Amino acid sequence: MTRLLVAALLIGGVTISGPLQAGSQEQAKRLHDRLAGVPPTPATLATMATAIDGGDAIGAAYTAMESEHFYNVTLKLFAAPWTNRDQSVFVPFNDYIATVIGMIRDDIDFRQVLQGDILYTGDGSLGLPAYSVSNNAHYEAMEAADVNLKTGLVQSTQSSVTGLPAEATAGVMTTRGAAKSFFIAGTNRAMFRFTLMNHMCRDLEQVHDTSRMPDRIRQDVTRSPGGDSRVFMNNCVGCHNGMDPLAQAFAYYNYEYDADADPTGENGRLIYNSSGQLDPDTGSRVVKKYRINANNFIYGYVTENDDWDNYWREGTNALLGWDNSLPGSGRGAKTMGQELAHSEAFAQCQVEKVFENVCLRPPVDGADRAQVTSMVNSFKASGYKMKQVFAESAVYCMGE
């Protein structure tokens, strides 16, 4: 669908109005600029313009996405902010970014981004350092060599490369890049919060609901912040009552590093307590951070395992559109990631992010919102292929 621009020209005191639309070559150039970030070659421009003239603007968009710059620039900058707490694009290339790019390139069901045993590494023929669970040298070498990510990424599994048990893999949440940012120190709530922000377009304030049961809120959350229990009852409880039962899925994970010798954790690694591996402080598979500051409220919830429940299936957050074919509870990060990825909010979020990335603005009016709804439906019908969303967004905006 192409948007029509209405131009008003004042000539000799007479206003002449009418729908103006960019020509096919101009539209083709804009498509390529938006998707690849660079002008097309004359041959590519001609191919795309011919497709547009033939009524196949989507095909023209797919031609633009054949450019290596779509992968090395557009998708790299698209995914980079998801990998750090500052949400900055100025971060080193890592396994989280590589995996997102690879999944989009290969048209993999994007719901696997939160649940799959999947990992993308550099092609072994490129002479790169081997993938390491305790440093990022493999991906930094790819970036330094300006590897063509369209051809230089190879699909693998986390379980075969990192040794993480297949049942403990959960897409990008269990990559080293994510662990370094969101499992480091803290209480593992950061992993849940930033996953919610990055993949469901909601921060905690937007899912705040004080009507849910507070029975799974951990001991480290004081029930009287500053000595005033009203603060807890009217504010804190509205996030923790839903977050803590879901974030329990990460109870066996940690990011291990030497805080004295390596304060930023550059050489740390993701740790997962498999069956039979016990944390010395808890005497169970649950990592110590789930039991810290227990004296803040000794009657709070004590985490004994990685069982999770979605309390947000009821109340105001039922509007996030949970999949009724799923049970709404489970064990571990993989099934919790599936719960998030199968929601309507997940599909809506991916489409809105792509729309803003390609159109260089958020949806602003009724036509935009109708287009987003149409693309959400198309995204789901296509098997959650992200390239389809990029193509449709670019075509929608190519006449602007």
Is the pLDDT reported for residue 11 higher than 90?
no
Give tens-digit pLDDT for 217-274. 999 999 999 999 999 999 999 999 999 999 999 999 999 999 999 999 999 999 999 9
Banded model confidence at residue 65, pLDDT cuts 50, 70, 90: very high
Q: How far apart are the first and last CA of the chain?
A: 12
DSSP per position, 275-344: TT---TTTSSSS-GGGGTTGGG-TTSB---S-EEE-GGGSSGGGGGT--TTS-SEEEHHHHHHHHHHTSH
pLDDT in tens, 281-335: 999 999 999 999 999 999 999 999 999 999 999 999 999 999 999 999 999 999 9
List phi, psi (to 5°) of 295: -75, -10
Q: What confidence score (pLDDT) does residue 217 get?
A: 98
Residue 187 has a pLDDT of: 98
Residue with tokens 């048209």: 107
Scanning the structure block, which residue is given the tokens 């029509």? 4
pLDDT band at 21 (very low <50, low <70, confident <90, very high): low
pTM of the predicted model as reported, rounded to 2 decimal places: 0.93
| Mean pLDDT computed over 187-204 | 98
Q: Is the pLDDT of residue 351 over 50?
A: yes
Quick one: how far is CA 248 from the chain centroid?
A: 20
CB-neighbour burial class of residue 85 (10 A; exposed 0-12, middle 13-18, buried 19+): exposed
360 pLDDT more than 70? yes
Whether the pLDDT of residue 17 is over 70: the answer is: no
Task: Check residue 4 and give its pLDDT.
Answer: 36
The percent of residues in the chain predicted with pLDDT above 90, rounded, is 94
Predicted pLDDT at 378: 98
Is it the case that residue 13 has pLDDT exceeding 50? no
- Reply yes or no on whether the pLDDT at 141 is more than 60: yes
Name the average pLDDT for the chain.
94
The H or E element spanning position 358 is helix 344-359
Q: What percent of the chain has pLDDT over 70?
A: 94
pLDDT digits (tens, 9 = 90+) for 95-109: 999 999 999 999 999
In a 10 Å sphere around its CB, with 0-12 CB exposed, 13-18 middle and 19+ buried, how is residue 48 labelled? buried
